[in-house]
């Protein structure tokens, strides 16, 4: 009983300490004035704001104002909007204004906005994007087509038109309440690096350059900076196959499969969670978000060198054991994600799940909250990744990995249309979106042809 009392007191102290730390955490405030059909606004949101928020969510405070260069006037007691790119833009602005009020938390709001803006026709993207991020389209539709949406957009217009100094173009970006040419340029070119600088001297570990303990960054960065955002833009045209095994070892000992992962037990767990997610988390977008969330962890001690020895599957006395490059933790991560590959569908949901795990400070503890976040059933993944099914699935991943031709020398190992070479690897890791668009010629989707031209939209 005394021990139990001590434990409760200890937990209270720890909770208070962490609460105090959270309240003192430094943050960056970003205010974005934009409009629904401005190419420069799309580019900033999709290429800078959305991925940066995914990495630094707990350090950023975001305020979105979708009005831009529109005009508004009173006609016989009714507010009439005239948007720079026509009535369609007014509709998009109104939908996203309603989303600012009704879609929470900010992560879900930004996912919804980015989803709409990456669509070939954003005016038709509201309902499918609401379903994708798990928000109620009925609420947004009633708001955006009724008097409430008009009133909310009017308030956005008052804030935009009443801004001092006057807003001269969009996207108009304020950081910590300030706007100037330098801030605008830094934000549009490298918002992540800019935000990291502003968080000094206590910069989050995710901002720091890779150390010998942070070798996991290469395949994490590919997933977060290339695969995840590219799939968001080209979802209807891409088929994604995730194999979360990497440089692990699998051994069979006395009829039992065990894994030893490159980055330790945590990685084995993450692999297994994501393997289960491949099966259970659908659509692919949600799966990728889950995987990306896992990869966005901040603790380099949970990662390691992805380019060390190649994974092998060895059989010892009839029992499979895995030896992962970064230790048992890595084996666990591999096993979770292997289970996700089987159980999480469609691919969108699977990627959401994997991305979610990778965002966490400790991916080995991210399975359940990420499953809840993307709307998949955690007990299925947990049962899979901690039981014989996950072991068998990860063993199959190991066989596929070990059988690669040419052999895998490093991870991430990216195949495009079944082909892997230095050229495809380089193109995929540096600009997967445009690489995929090129492969979709002669009829690439409309999103491929969107060119921001000027990175800003000026009033007519």
> With a threshold of 0.85, does the pTM exceed it?
no
- On the question of pLDDT at 170 being above 90, the answer is yes
Residues 280 and 185 placed together within one structural domain of the fold: no
Residue 303 forms part of a structural domain:
yes
Task: Summarize the confidence of residues 37-52 as an average pLDDT.
Answer: 93
Cβ–Cβ < 8 Å for 322, 259 = yes
Residue 80: pLDDT band (50, 70, 90) is: very high
Residues 174 and 322 placed together within one structural domain of the fold: no
Residues 50 and 173 placed together within one structural domain of the fold: yes
Residues 179 and 225 placed together within one structural domain of the fold: no
Residue of higher predicted confidence among 250 and 368? 368
Structure tokens at 157: 């217009």
Residue 433 forms part of a structural domain:
no
Residues 296 and 400 placed together within one structural domain of the fold: yes
Residue of higher predicted confidence among 243 and 311? 243
Last residue of a domain, one of 146, 163, 198: 198
Task: State the pLDDT at residue 276.
Answer: 80
Of the listed ranges 31-40, 136-145, 219-228, 362-371, the one predicted with least confidence: 219-228
- On the question of pLDDT at 155 being above 90, the answer is yes
How many distinct helices (H) and strands (E) make up the chain? 19, 11
Q: How many domains does the chain have?
A: 2
Other residues' Cβ atoms within 10 Å of the Cβ of residue 208: 13
DSSP string, 155-224: HHHHHHHT-SSPP-SBSEEEETTB--HHHHHHHHHHHHHHHHHHTTTS--GGGSPP-TT-TTHHHHHHII
Task: State the pLDDT at residue 218.
Answer: 56
Task: State the pLDDT at residue 397.
Answer: 86
Q: pLDDT tens digits for 399-454?
A: 888 788 777 777 888 899 988 887 887 788 778 888 888 898 888 887 776 654 44
Task: State the pLDDT at residue 247.
Answer: 76
Residue 354: pLDDT band (50, 70, 90) is: confident
Task: State the pLDDT at residue 214.
Answer: 36
CA distances (Å), origin 10, targets 17, 39, 138: 11, 53, 46
Residue 391 forms part of a structural domain:
yes
Task: State the pLDDT at residue 97.
Answer: 98
Core vs surface per residue 425-441: b (16+ CB within 10 A) or e: bebbbeebbebbbeeee
Last residue of a domain, one of 379, 396, 413: 413
* Dist CA 19 CA 15 (whole Å): 6
Task: Summarize the confidence of residues 322-348 as an average pLDDT.
Answer: 84
- Residue 182 is part of a domain; what is its CATH number? 3.40.30.10
Task: State the pLDDT at residue 447.
Answer: 75
Task: Summarize the confidence of residues 113-127 as an average pLDDT.
Answer: 93
Residue 173: pLDDT band (50, 70, 90) is: very high
Residue 17 forms part of a structural domain:
no
Task: State the pLDDT at residue 20.
Answer: 43
DSSP string, 7-71: HHHHHHHHHHHHHHHHHH---EEEEEEE-TT-HHHHHHIIIIIHHHHHHHGGGEEEEEEETTT-E
Residues 178 and 320 placed together within one structural domain of the fold: no
Residue 351 forms part of a structural domain:
yes
Cβ–Cβ < 8 Å for 279, 343 = yes
Residue 65 forms part of a structural domain:
yes
Task: Summarize the confidence of residues 332-337 as an average pLDDT.
Answer: 88
Rg (CA), the chain: 23
Residue of higher predicted confidence among 2 and 381? 381
Cβ–Cβ < 8 Å for 227, 318 = no
Residues 135 and 271 placed together within one structural domain of the fold: no
Length of the chain: 460
Task: State the pLDDT at residue 425.
Answer: 78
Q: pLDDT tens digits for 229-256?
A: 888 778 878 888 888 877 777 777 777 7
Residues 236 and 361 placed together within one structural domain of the fold: yes
- On the question of pLDDT at 47 being above 80, the answer is yes
Task: State the pLDDT at residue 10.
Answer: 46
Nearest to 353 by CA among 400, 338, 361: 338
Residue 215: pLDDT band (50, 70, 90) is: very low
Residue 388, domain extent: 220-413
Stretch (H or E) spanning 443:
none
Strand partners, 316: 319
Residue 301 forms part of a structural domain:
yes
- On the question of pLDDT at 316 being above 90, the answer is no
């Amino acid at each position: 009983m005394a021990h139990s009392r001590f434990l409760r007191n200890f937990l209270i102290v720890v909770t208070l300490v962490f609460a105090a730390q959270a309240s003192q955490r430094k943050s960056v405030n970003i205010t974005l004035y934009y409009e629904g059909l401005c190419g420069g606004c799309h580019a900033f949101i999709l290429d800078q704001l959305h991925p940066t928020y995914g990495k630094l969510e707990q350090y950023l405070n975001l305020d979105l104002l979708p009005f831009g260069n529109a005009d508004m006037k009173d006609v016989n007691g009714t507010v009439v909007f005239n948007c720079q790119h026509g009535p369609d833009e007014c509709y998009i602005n109104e939908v996203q204004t309603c989303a600012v009020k009704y879609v929470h938390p900010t992560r879900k709001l930004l996912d919804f906005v980015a989803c709409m803006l990456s669509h070939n026709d954003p005016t038709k993207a509201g309902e499918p994007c609401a379903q994708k991020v798990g928000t109620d389209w009925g609420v947004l539709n009633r708001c955006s087509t009724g008097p409430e949406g008009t009133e909310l957009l009017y308030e956005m217009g008052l804030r935009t038109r009443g801004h001092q100094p006057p807003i001269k173009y969009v996207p108009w970006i304020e950081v910590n309440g300030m706007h100037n040419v330098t801030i605008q340029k830094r934000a549009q070119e490298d918002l992540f690096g800019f935000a990291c600088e502003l968080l000094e001297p206590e910069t989050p570990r995710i901002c720091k350059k890779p150390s010998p303990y942070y070798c996991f960054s290469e395949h994490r960065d590919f997933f977060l900076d290339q695969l995840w955002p590219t799939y968001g833009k080209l979802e209807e045209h891409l088929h994604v196959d995730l194999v979360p095994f990497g440089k692990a070892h699998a051994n069979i000992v006395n009829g039992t499969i065990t894994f030893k992962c490159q980055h330790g037990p945590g990685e084995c767990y993450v692999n297994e969670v994501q393997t289960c997610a491949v099966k259970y988390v659908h659509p692919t977008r949600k799966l990728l978000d889950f995987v990306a969330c896992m990869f966005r962890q901040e603790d380099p001690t949970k990662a390691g060198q992805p380019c060390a020895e190649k994974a092998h599957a060895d059989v010892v006395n009839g029992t499979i054991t895995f030896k992962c490059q970064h230790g048992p933790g890595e084996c666990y991560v591999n096993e979770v994600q292997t289970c996700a590959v089987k159980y999480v569908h469609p691919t969108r949901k699977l990627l959401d799940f994997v991305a979610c795990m990778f965002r966490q400070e400790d991916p080995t503890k991210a399975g359940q909250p990420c499953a809840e976040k993307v709307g998949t059933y955690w007990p299925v993944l947990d049962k899979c990744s901690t039981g014989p099914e996950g072991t068998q699935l990860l063993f199959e991943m190991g066989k596929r990995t070990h059988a690669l031709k040419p052999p895998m020398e490093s991870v991430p190992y990216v195949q495009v249309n079944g082909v892997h070479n230095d050229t495809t690897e380089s193109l995929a890791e540096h600009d997967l979106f445009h690489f995929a668009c090129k492969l979709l010629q002669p009829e690439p989707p409309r999103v491929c042809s969107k060119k921001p031209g000027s990175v800003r939209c000026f009033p007519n």
